[in-house]
């Protein structure tokens, strides 16, 4: 494995999930990593927690596109990143997932003919109504190296005509992130005490996708269904979604407890101790397979089919959550024991090291023709 120049790999990220999933890659790259934070979802108190957890230098560049429309976020980040790459050309650009920051960095790398590496490539919901679907498809086709988390993701890429020599199955970096940040059992006990909860005695829920929180009828239905569950529901809710509830006059049931957003480590502790989760989050579908808890996925579609039928069930907002989770409620301990015997489909916790090795090989391959010509 060759040597990398200091600050030679631009790792572009803009949201909390990107920091979580790229954290170990950045740590492994060491001085070679040049972290560029677009500010798409920037909260210093939360961001710094992850930078500290992964030992990342917090003096990352900030572009500052948070709070803007999708078009403005992509356009302004693209312009800023293109100029940054022209001023200090990296040997490669690394992006993750399907955010607006991911697409902007991919376009900037392509415009400057810089090798692009896409972490978590090949995910497909096959739902063109999702902006994230367009972001991930475009990024995959621009990428010089697609790091697919699963064989299913790899087959999606091959099916779209992306050459196999541009695809490597690495596993998903979420596995090592969760294993690093999951609090110990003792700390989890303290977290439960702080929230007045008992092990396997509550449901953990999150909702943030526009298809759910921006539609008044859908949002009201979701809260009606949460209120019918026979267990307390803990719901860390983004202020934007909370404002929707107030505006629409939706009153959560007494057992649905809305709290402010919490840190990732505390969230993982709550996830590991819940009876089951209810959410529209993509990342949560991966995380439950690592902490061995079931989840109801309230969405039209999912780009993570690997967990459907084992750790996850896909339901529409109109379906009865209580009916769908009936057997989980009746035999909670048994379900948890069964899931504990299943491996996560997202790898063995080596995705970050595989990704860095593939990245270095890509850089060396890119440089080889010019070296030979010299």
Residues annotated catalytic, as ranges:
208
Look at residues 356, 306, 347, 279 and name the one whose alpha carbon lies nearest to residue 11: 356
Query: DSSP letters along 125-141, please?
Result: ---TT-HHHHHHHHHHH
Hey, CA dihedral for 119, 124, 129, 134, is it positive or negative?
positive
In whole angstroms, what is the distance from residue 64 CA to residue 191 CA?
34
CA 208, 209, 210: angle at the middle one, nearest 5? 115
Order the strands of the 33-37 sheet from edge to edge: 61-62, 33-37, 9-13, 92-96, 116-119, 145-148, 167-169
Please name which of 102, 101, 98 lies closest in space to residue 132, comparing C-alpha atoms. Answer: 98
The sign of the CA dihedral 77, 82, 88, 93 is positive
Length of the chain: 374
Q: What SS3 state is found at 271? A: helix
Rounded to whole angstroms, how far apart are CA atoms 321 and 239?
A: 24
């Amino acid at each position: 494995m060759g040597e990398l120049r200091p600050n030679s790999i631009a790792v572009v990220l803009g949201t909390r999930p990107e920091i979580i999933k790229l954290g170990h890659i950045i740590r492994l790259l060491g001085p070679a990593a040049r972290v560029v934070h677009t500010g798409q979802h920037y909260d210093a108190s939360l961001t710094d927690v992850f930078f500290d957890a992964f030992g990342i230098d917090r003096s990352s560049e900030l572009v500052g596109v948070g709070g803007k429309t999708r078009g403005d976020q992509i356009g302004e980040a693209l312009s800023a990143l293109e100029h940054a790459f022209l001023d200090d050309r990296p040997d490669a650009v690394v992006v993750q997932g399907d955010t607006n920051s991911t697409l902007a960095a991919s376009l900037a790398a392509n415009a400057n003919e810089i090798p692009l590496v896409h972490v978590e490539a090949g995910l497909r919901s096959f739902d063109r109504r999702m902006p994230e679907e367009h972001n991930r498809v475009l990024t995959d086709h621009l990428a010089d190296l697609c790091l697919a988390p699963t064989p299913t993701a790899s087959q999606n890429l091959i099916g779209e005509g992306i050459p196999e020599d541009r695809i490597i199955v690495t596993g998903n970096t979420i596995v090592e992130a969760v294993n690093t940040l999951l609090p110990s059992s003792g700390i989890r006990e303290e977290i439960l005490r702080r929230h007045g909860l008992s092990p396997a005695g509550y449901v953990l829920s999150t909702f943030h996708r526009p298809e759910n929180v921006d539609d008044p009828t859908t949002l009201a239905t979701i809260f009606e269904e949460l209120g019918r569950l026979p267990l307390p529901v803990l719901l860390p809710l983004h202020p934007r979604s909370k404002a929707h509830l107030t505006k629409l006059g939706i009153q959560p049931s007494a057992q649905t407890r809305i709290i402010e957003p919490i840190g990732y480590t505390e969230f993982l502790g709550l996830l590991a101790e819940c009876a089951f989760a209810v959410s529209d989050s993509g990342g949560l579908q991966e995380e439950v397979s690592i902490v061995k808890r079931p989840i109801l996925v309230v969405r039209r579609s999912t780009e993570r089919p690997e967990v459907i039928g084992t750790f996850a069930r896909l339901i529409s907002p109109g379906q009865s959550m209580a009916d769908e989770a009936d057997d989980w409620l009746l035999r909670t301990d048994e379900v948890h024991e069964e899931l504990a015997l299943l491996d996560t489909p997202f790898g063995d916790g080596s995705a970050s090291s595989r990704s860095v090795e593939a990245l270095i090989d890509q850089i060396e391959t890119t440089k080889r023709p010019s070296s030979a010509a010299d």
